[in-house]
């Protein structure tokens, strides 16, 4: 085998290893990517069962139910709501009409089973992505309008 062919073979093997490393990296990143959905997007478009994603909005007024360690509540964007079930300790800021983002997946009954619940820390600010999904009046109407106005500024 000539030196030219040896060099070509080494370059091709190197490209193969680099391509494989990039491919494995992209697969690992894809598994860790969590998509955000609002309750309205879930009602209109659905989402596959067992696939992890984030849902966000406000905790619907009067929807928090505790049954032992399991807490059930509804997250609303002012138009639609989705029931969430969580079996760990909730954040201190968690309460009615509070903005939350939950990470988890849908079960067979259409209920969102959360693995993690995050409560927003300031009642005067809401991320623009969530504020854009808060469209209509709801039980927490004053908070939604105030939060949406802050997100626009």
Known binding-site residues equal 121, 125
Gap between the Cα atoms of 3 and 97, Å rounded: 72
* Known binding positions for heme: 121, 125
Gap between the Cα atoms of 54 and 36, Å rounded: 5
Tokens describing residue 41: 């997007």
Gap between the Cα atoms of 77 and 87, Å rounded: 23
Please give the backbone phi and psi of residue 25, each rounded to the nearest 5 degrees, phi first: -65, -45
Cα dihedral 127→132→137→139 (10° resolution): -30
């Amino acid at each position: 085998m000539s030196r030219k062919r040896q060099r070509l073979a080494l370059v091709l093997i190197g490209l193969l290893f680099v391509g494989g490393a990039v491919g494995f990296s992209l697969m690992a990143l894809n598994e860790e990517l969590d998509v955000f959905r609002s309750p309205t997007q879930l009602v209109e478009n659905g989402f596959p069962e067992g696939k992890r994603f984030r849902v966000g909005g406000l905790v619907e007024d009067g929807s928090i139910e505790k049954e032992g360690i399991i807490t059930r509540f509804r997250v609303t964007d002012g138009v639609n709501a989705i029931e969430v079930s969580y079996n760990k300790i909730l954040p201190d800021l968690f309460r009615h009409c509070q903005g939350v983002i939950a990470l988890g997946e849908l079960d067979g009954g259409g209920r969102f089973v959360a693995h993690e619940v995050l409560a927003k820390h300031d009642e005067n600010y809401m991320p623009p992505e969530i504020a854009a999904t808060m469209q209509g009046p709801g039980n927490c109407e004053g908070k939604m309008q105030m939060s949406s106005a802050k997100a626009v500024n």
